[in-house]
Structure 1
Amino acid sequence: MTTAVDFYVAETDEAGRVVALWCKSAQSRIARPIRRYDLKLSDLDTKECFGAAREKLADWLAQA
């Protein structure tokens, strides 16, 4: 990614599955959606994640 991400926010469906992931950087006023192929599982290790468990995020990334 080109900008430093401060944290990630997962959007989930009624069953708790991750359907989208948003990222927020200090430079931006709002969070933006992130594409699966722009993210590696190791990126989630260094930043806070909200909205879903890390395992659910890993499942979402594996679908890419």
Structure 2
Amino acid sequence: MGGYAVQIIHHLGARVLATASPDNVQAVRALGAEEVIDYRAAGGPDAVAAAARHPRGRGGAA
């Protein structure tokens, strides 16, 4: 279900932030996610919030 959501949101032109396991990061990026965060890592929710605050992901890098 999440994969469909990523594709639809990306298609609509929104910036997509997603969470995934390290094994699935590239697959989620291929679906259209700009930023993919390991949901198992410590600080996961904080990492998602930090990425959402920056227009180009963590640290605002282009």
TM-score, structure 2 as length reference = 0.31
Greater strand fraction, Structure 1 or Structure 2? 1
TM-score, structure 1 as length reference = 0.30
Greater helix fraction, Structure 1 or Structure 2? 2
